[in-house]
Amino acid sequence: MDNYPLLNIFWTMLELFLWILWFFLLFKIITDIFRSHDMGGWAKAGWLLLVILVPLIGVLVYVIARGRSMGERDVEQAQRADAAFKAYIRDAAGAAPGEGPGEGPGGRSHVDDLAKLADLKSSGAISEEEYQKAKEKLLV
């Protein structure tokens, strides 16, 4: 341990952390290149070659040139995932979107729907907030 002082350990940890960050950024950019719908195949191939062959310059140029649209694509993907999750919750709860008061689909009462919601909440599939929103939607 005398040959490797404490400061060298901290320096090695910092270098490891920076390498992990670098690879995370590199893979994030490569996935964004393939996810981008506003670029053609040749543009994607050019960006990919630039990022792979000259990584430091390629990544910096990509972040400068397309950083804003990269963030917008992340937000759109999160919104799509959220909408899919909410549709799944509605499906699992048995309530169709826009369904009014009274009986549910197939002649079920809202008591059955509330019981399913309670089961989803107790199993941890939905949060307390989602449970309250779905319950209010059923009872209105």
Instruction: Sketch the domain layout of the chain as residue ranges.
Output: 1-66
Q: Give the integer Cα–Cα distance in Å for 105 and 96.
A: 8
pTM of the model: 0.54
Q: For tokens 């002649």, what's the residue?
A: 107
Q: Give the integer Cα–Cα distance in Å for 61 and 51.
A: 9
- The answer to whether 95 and 120 have CB atoms below 8 angstroms apart is no
Q: What is the pLDDT along the chain (140 residues), one digit of tens a residue?
A: 567 788 888 999 999 999 999 999 999 999 999 988 888 999 999 999 999 999 889 999 999 998 888 989 889 889 999 999 988 888 887 655 555 444 445 445 677 788 888 888 888 888 888 888 888 887 77
Phi–psi pair at 63, nearest 5 degrees: -65, -40
Reduced to 3 states (helix: H, G, I; strand: E, B; else coil), residue 13 is: helix
pLDDT of residue 90: 82
pLDDT of residue 19: 93
Look at residues 116, 91, 87, 122 and name the one whose alpha carbon lies nearest to residue 135.
Answer: 116
